[in-house]
Amino acid sequence: MKASKHSPRALLCSVLLSIPLLGQAETVNWANWLNGQISKHPEVLAATEQAAARKEDAEASEQPLYNPELSVGADRTGSENNFEAGLSQTIDWSDQQGALKEKAKLIRLSAQAGLSEAVLTQTSESLFALVEWRATELFEEIAESQQQRLDALLDQVEQRQQAGDLGRADAELLFLNLSRQLSEVAQAKAAVDRAETQVRERLPDWKPQDGGIPEYIWPALESQIGEADLLAHPSVAVARAEWQVLKSEAEVARRKAKASPTVGLSGGRDGGENVVGLTFSIPLNVRNNYSAEIRAANRRALEAEARFQALYRKQQYDLSGARAAWKRYDKQLRRWKELSQGRVQRSADLLEKQWQVGDLSTSEYLQALGQRAESLKTGIELEKLAQLGLIELLRQSGELTTPFQ
């Protein structure tokens, strides 16, 4: 079932749009799952209700301003019963309702932009959390692998020590390294636990076995949004819509200051005679011409315009900075991959063989193992930064709320 264009479930990163056709099915499945999780978050639910309430406000603004008034009266003069019934209607002479209808359109735009902004925030924060969790998982795997390697090495050192091949200092040095590694494993596991709670808070039904963001979601894609397209960014759209709403309110205030006449028609009996009356009244705005209200409304509109321009300008710089940062991280990640080319993965066995034959001392071997682990961590950190940079770029461009088509 295709999601509505204006529903939070319509959310999907524009990055997904570039996936090759063969990967479209699984991409859409994962995207639909993500959309469903985002739509369940309390912040998005609250934003949905807020948008619905604002749309009701818009509908209220479109209603006629004045209802007709019915009046009845009766009295008795001598033996005669007198009565009168009348109907009056205030006329929207300055067409306030026309201005209010225009305001209603802008309120709806503001409501939808506000909802898109909430979805954008939750989507980016959820993706950030998934990237962080995946990185901590990989850090934990490295720490545990290092500990297992040191445990196995300790057994070998003890055997070689008994055989007289190694001295006591080698065993003590290994013990110190292993002790430090136990602390590192504990910290890595704690980091995973913290990252997991962050993902669970963002994605209600997520479980660790669901994993992080699938690899096919990460094509090498540069955002195509330019500065001229930023008016569609939810945050900018909200600020622009609020400015337009206040601008329309200023027009409503200007028209409201003009007097609206009331016309009435009445009929009845008085002293045994039928009577018909016509009334016309109009407020005389001589003591208060409501000019202060008009000036205040205009000032609020000017303030909102300035805030919109400031936010639009800031968004342009934020987008430029995010794009530059992502390019930097992506370049360094590619460079690291070129340099490693599987060397880091193969180096552990090579180092162990060199230690076994005596080409490396125990201290040199332990130092080399530590450097290998740091190199692996560097690759994970660069990949994390590149992925976070891409998400930030798509958030600053507003493309995380582009519907899947």
User: Tens digit of pLDDT for each residue in 164-188?
Assistant: 665 667 677 777 788 888 888 999 9
Question: How much is the average pLDDT of 337-342?
Answer: 78
* Residues ≥6 apart with Cβ < 8 Å to 315: 230, 233, 235, 236, 396
- Average pLDDT of the residues of the chain: 83
Q: For residue 164, which phi and psi values (nearest 5 degrees)?
A: 80, 10
Other beta carbons less than 10 A from residue 167's beta carbon: 13
Q: What confidence score (pLDDT) does residue 30 get? A: 82
| pLDDT-derived band at 79, boundaries 50, 70, 90 | confident
Q: What confidence score (pLDDT) does residue 25 get? A: 65
Predicted model pTM: 0.82
| Residue 196 confidence (pLDDT) above 60 | yes
Lowest mean pLDDT among 23-37, 54-68, 291-305: 23-37
* CA 45 to chain CA mean position, Å: 13
Q: What confidence score (pLDDT) does residue 223 get? A: 61
Phi-psi region of 76 (alpha: psi -120 to 50; beta: other; left: phi over 0): beta
For residue range 49-61, list pLDDT tens digits in order: 999 999 999 999 8
Q: Is 77 helix (H, G, I), strand (E, B) or coil?
A: strand
Q: Which position has the token pair 């070998």?
A: 156
For residue range 225-245, list pLDDT tens digits in order: 666 678 889 999 999 999 999
| Residue 12 confidence (pLDDT) above 80 | no
| Residue 22 confidence (pLDDT) above 70 | no
Q: Which position has the token pair 């009348």?
A: 86
Sorted by where each begins, the domain ranges of the chain are 23-207+229-283+294-401
| Residue 318 confidence (pLDDT) above 90 | yes
Q: Residue 20 has what DSSP assignment?
A: -
* Residues ≥6 apart with Cβ < 8 Å to 47: 114, 115, 117, 118, 119
Lowest mean pLDDT among 129-133, 298-302, 310-314, 344-348: 344-348
Measured CA to CA, the distance from residue 154 to residue 326 in angstroms comes to 43
| CATH ID of 23-207+229-283+294-401, from 3.40.50.150, 3.30.1490.190, 1.10.1050.10, 1.20.1600.10 | 1.20.1600.10
| Residue 68 confidence (pLDDT) above 70 | yes
